[in-house]
Structure 1
C-alpha cells in the first residue's frame, strides 16, 4: 500500500444532527426518506486520534468544516484510467464547490493517469485488488480497513473497471456512486465500457445517449439511477465524437450528483428510487 495509515482506536461522541432531522421531517411529509451516510442521522466525531503525516495532510487540506456549516464529507475515488471525472470532482472540491475532500484514490492500475494526478496532488493511492500485474495490491479486508481508517463517507467510481466486492457494497449501503457513459439500463453491464459503449449506441440506431450516475450494487450497472443527461446522437457521429460530447456532460452531472450527496440532498421514495432535492427549492426533486 502506498499510503501508510496509522491511527489509534478512539471513542466516538455522537449528537443529533439538527439539519438532517429537519430534512427528514420535511421528506416524510411527502413519503420520502433522506439519504445519509453511515452515521445514521447522528453527527459523530472522534474524541482522540493520531494519524500519519500523509493522512493528516489530506484530512486538513482545505479544512474539514463545510462552507454551509456542515462537516465536509470524505471521499474515496476509484479509477482505472486517466481519471477525468476524478479530476473534475477533485477540482470542484478544491474550489469549494463541493462540500468534501478527496482523501484516497483506489486503482487497479497504479501507473494510470488518475493515480499520477492523485500522487501529484498529495492524495494517498491504494492499489486494489492484489493481482499478478499489481502484486502490491491489497485484499478486500485490507481495503475496508484502510477506508475505515480514513473515515471515508462515500465511494465514487470514476472509470473503475473491476466489479466492486459484495463486502464493500454491504459496508457502504447507499454510499457508492458510479458513472456510466450511456442512458442505463441501455448499453450497460459487463463488457460495456469506453468506446465499446458508444460503438454499440451508434450501431443500434439510437437517437439519444448520455451519462448515468447510479448507486452501486453487487452487479455491473444495475444499481438505482440517480441522475442522467441526454446527448443527441448525430447522423454522422463516430464513436470518438459521441464519446467527447458524453464525457463533457459526465463531468457536469457527476459533480452535481456528488454535490447533492455531500449536501445530504438525496431522498429515497418508498419504492426505493433516489431523488435529488433542489438546493434552492426544497419542495422540488429531480
Structure 2
C-alpha cells in the first residue's frame, strides 16, 4: 500500500477529504499529517481518523528536522493541502515529482507569494473574472510554478462575491483532488 503524507496549515477540509477517500481504497493511505500551526483544525480532523500528526516550526521545516521525519516514513507522495509556508528545497530535492499542491485559481494567474485563500477570491472578484478554478501542480522551488497536472474551472457571474467564489472552489477541490491523487499514485510516471 502506498503512503501519503499531507501538509496543511488550517482547517484541513481537503486533508480530511483525502483521508476519507483513501480509507475506502486499498491503493494508498494517508499515514501522517504535518502542520506548522499548533492550533490548526486539521489536527482534530486527523485525530478523529487516528492519523498521526507532526507539528513543527518554520525553523524546523527549514532545517533537517522535518526532512528526517519524512524520510522515516518514506512516502510515495507528499500532498500540500492548504499549506501556507514555502516548501524547502532540501525536501523538494529528495522527492522530485513526488510533491503536489492544490491552488485555488487557474495558474499561472493568481499564483505566487501571498496568493492564497480569500486573497485570491477577492482579487478574482475585483478583476471581474468570468471564470476561476483549481490547479493541481508539482511543487518546485518557486511558489505555484511547478508543472501543472490538472485544472478544473467554474464560471462566475457578476453576482459572485469572494465568499461564493470560495464555495465554488471548495466544491471543485473536494471533487477532484482525491481523484487526481489516486491517478498519480496509479501511474507515477505520467502526467494527467
Q: TM-score range by the shorter chain?
A: over 0.9
Higher helix share: 2
SS in 2 for 1:187: coil
SS in 2 for 1:148: helix
Q: Within the alignment, does 1:155 sit opposite 2:83 as a pair?
A: no
- What is the correspondence of 1:127-166 to structure 2 with a 5 Å cutoff? 127-130=55-58, 140-166=63-89
Moved more, 144-153 or 155-164: 144-153
Q: Distance in 2 between matches of 1:147 and 1:181?
A: 26
User: 1:238: which partner in 2?
Assistant: 161
Q: CA deviation at 1:128?
A: 2.5
Q: Distance in 1 between matches of 2:58 and 2:167?
A: 32
Q: Distance in 2 between matches of 1:95 and 1:243?
A: 28
User: 1:215: which partner in 2?
Assistant: 138
1:188 is matched with which residue: 88, 93, 111?
111
| Deviation sequence 1:172-218 (CA, Å, 0-9, x none) | 00000000000000011001111110111111121110010000001
Q: Within the alignment, does 1:88 sit opposite 2:88 as a pair?
A: no
TM-score by length of 2: 0.95
Q: CA deviation at 1:139?
A: 5.9
Q: Distance in 2 between matches of 1:165 and 1:235?
A: 39
TM-score by length of 1: 0.64
The gaps in structure 2 that reach 5 residues or longer are none
Judging changes above 3 Å, is the alpha-carbon distance between structure 1 residues 197 and 138 closer, same or farther for their aligned structure 2 residues? closer
1:176 is matched with which residue: 78, 99, 104?
99
1:201 is matched with which residue: 105, 124, 131?
124
User: 1:115: which partner in 2?
Assistant: 43
Structure of higher CA gyration radius: 1
Do the aligned partners of 2:62 and 2:88 also contact (CA within 8 Å) in 1? no
Q: CA deviation at 1:138?
A: 6.3
| Deviation sequence 1:13-42 (CA, Å, 0-9, x none) | xxxxxxxxxxxxxxxxxxxxxxxxxxxxxx
SS in 2 for 1:178: strand
| Deviation sequence 1:107-157 (CA, Å, 0-9, x none) | 0102211111112222111122356xxxxx566312112112112111000
Do the aligned partners of 1:128 and 1:139 also contact (CA within 8 Å) in 2? no
Aligned-residue RMSD, C-alpha: 1.5
Judging changes above 3 Å, is the alpha-carbon distance between structure 1 residues 148 and 245 closer, same or farther for their aligned structure 2 residues? same
Q: CA deviation at 1:73?
A: 1.1
Moved over 4 A (4+): none
Judging changes above 3 Å, is the alpha-carbon distance between structure 1 residues 184 and 139 closer, same or farther for their aligned structure 2 residues? closer
User: 2:33: which partner in 1?
Assistant: 105
The gaps in structure 1 that reach 5 residues or longer are 1-71, 132-136, 268-274, 277-286
How many corresponding residue pairs?
A: 192
